Amino acid sequence: MAYSYALLFAILALASSQAFAGDPSPLQDLCVADNKAKVFVNGVVCKDPKKVKAEDFFFSGLHKPGNTANPLGSKVTPVNVTVLPGLNTLGISVARIDFAPNGLNPPHTHPRATEILTVLEGTLYVGFVTSNSNDGNKLFTKVLNKGDVFVFPVGLVHFQFNIGHSNAVAIAALSSQNPGVVTIANAVFGSKPPISDYVLAKAFQVDKKVINYLQSQFWMDNYN
Ligand SMILES: *[C@@H]1O[C@H](CO)[C@@H](O)[C@H](O)[C@H]1NC(C)=O
C-alpha cells in the first residue's frame, strides 16, 4: 500500500512538473479555427468538423513579394492562424520576409516561438542575443546566403539585415500558430500611453531629452 502511494505521488509530481515550451498539443485531429467565434479560449474555438474543407488548410500568396517601400526597407508577411485557420492547435506557422538592399527586420522577439529561417535569395546578416547571464548578453551572428538556414531560439532578441546589393527573400517557420512579435524599439519608445521618460532616462542612462526625441519618432512595424 505504502509503496503504491509513493509511486502515485512520484507520478503526480512528475506530471505536474512538466513544462511546455511551445503551443499545447492538439486533443483531436482537426480544430480548424472559427475566427468568428465570440468565445475566448487558449487558441481559437474549433469550427464544426463536418463543415471543414480542404481550403481551411490552404493559403495562397507567399510567392508575392511584400512591399518594402517603408523606412525599414523590409516586409514580413505572416501566415498565421488568422489567415490559415487549419493551423489552430498545431503549434506551427510560416512567414515570408522581403528585404530591399539595406533593408532591416529590426531587433524583435517572438514570445511564443522558435524561428528557423531559410534564405531563398540574397545575403543577410542575422543575429540573436542571449538572455541575461553572468557573462552578460551574448551576441551570435552569421552572414547567410541563398540556401542557408539559421535558428533563433524562442523568446530571444534577434534581427535580420540585408547586406547584399539586391533584394533578399527568406522564409521563416515558427513553432507557434500565433508566435507574437515584440519589436524592441516600438515596445520601449512607442507604447501607448508612453512609458514615463523618467523611467526610460534612468533605464538607458541618458538625458530625458534623448528619450523625448526617441518617443517623438514614428515607430512603424513591418508586418501589417
Ligand atoms: C497574422 O497574419 C496576418 C496576415 O498576414 C497579419 O496581418 C497579422 O498581423 C498576423 N497576426 C499576428 C498576431 O502576427
Rounded to the nearest whole angstrom, what is the distance from the C-alpha of residue 191 to the centroid of ligand 1?
A: 19
Q: Where are the domain boundaries for CATH 2.60.120.10 in the chain?
A: 21-180
Q: Is 59 in the pocket of ligand 1 (CB under 6 A)?
A: no
Is the separation of the CB atoms in 175 and 92 below 8 Å? Answer: yes
Rounded to the nearest whole angstrom, what is the distance from the C-alpha of residue 28 to the centroid of ligand 1?
A: 25
Length of the chain: 224
Protein fold of 21-180: Jelly Rolls (2.60.120)
Q: pLDDT in tens for each of the 224 residues of the chain?
A: 455 665 555 555 545 545 556 788 888 889 999 989 998 888 899 999 999 999 999 999 999 999 999 999 999 999 999 999 999 999 999 999 999 999 999 999 999 999 999 999 999 999 999 999 999 999 999 999 999 999 999 999 999 999 999 999 999 999 999 999 999 999 999 999 999 999 999 999 999 999 999 999 999 889 87
Helix (H, G, I), strand (E, B) or coil at 169: strand
How many angstroms separate the Cα of 151 from the Cα of each of 5, 24, 33, 113, 121? 44, 21, 28, 11, 17
Determine the residue of 87, 178, 223 to mutate for testing ligand 1's pocket, defined as the one with the most ligand atoms within 8 A of the Cβ atom: 223
Exposure string over 105-133, b if 16+ CB within 10 A, otherwise e: bbbbbbebbbbebebebbbbebbbbeeee
Those residues with Cβ within 8 angstroms of residue 44's Cβ, 6 or more apart along the chain or in another chain: 31, 33, 34, 35, 37, 81, 85, 88
Atom of ligand 1 nearest to the CA of 78: 5
Tell me which H or E stretch contains 118: strand 115-121
